[in-house]
Amino acid sequence: MAKKIICESCGTIFPFEKAKDFTVCPVCNASFDDEEESETSVHDEKEEIDLEHPDMYFYSIDDEDMYEDKDLRDIYCNCISCRKVNPILYNKFSVINSEYVKLKDGVEVHCKGCGKAVTNPVIPKRPDGWRELNMWEKDYDNLPKCPICHSTRIHKISMTNKAVSALTFGVFAAGHVSKTYKCDVCGSKF
């Protein structure tokens, strides 16, 4: 494993080869004390991190281009229990990297949806396959419905059916050929 230097002020991790000549952090301008102390703090930090039992997942961090002032930037997290989006101010975190973020000591955060307090200060990155609760109910709202009776029991009118109607009835099949769906309940075409 390659040596790394971590800034104790902002939590940014730098490769030792690139940052060995730095006297201050290029991100927050905090001075580096001793390189060896920083390396041990990274090692100690990794030992106390609990990524197995998170209360929240983070999924997005406001870009530096959006706000130059870190006090205005947010880190967006999802509650594990209710899945509500919780924007948390950037300055409430002591460590921010691509794998996890860690709340500063003494900072209390509660979910805006269920009110549950965050007990684990480490918030890992949201897994790729993680979904919202009731996602199927939300998708149900996006199903096509009959404009007359609002039933979802509809079927698509096939191209074969349209072609046969056009060949059989000619111009008189224009009303049928121009429609996409037919309701199985009331029989309307739309």
Cβ-contact 176, 189 below 8 angstroms = yes
Is residue 22 located within the same domain as residue 77?
Answer: no
For 51-103, write each residue's pLDDT tens digit: 778 889 998 888 777 777 777 888 999 988 888 889 999 889 988 888 889 99
Residue 101, amino acid? V
Instruction: List, for residues 94-148, the tens digit of each pLDDT value.
Output: 888 888 899 999 999 999 989 999 988 899 998 877 765 555 555 566 778 888 8
User: Per-residue pLDDT tens for 11-32?
Assistant: 777 777 777 777 777 777 777 6
The total domain count for the chain is 3
Interatomic CA distance for residues 61 and 11, integer angstroms? 14
Same-domain pairing of 107 and 164:
no
| 90, 71 contact by CB (below 8 A) | yes
User: 153 with 119, same domain?
Assistant: no
The answer on 75 and 16 residing in a single domain is: no
pTM here is 0.46
In a domain, 89, yes or no: yes
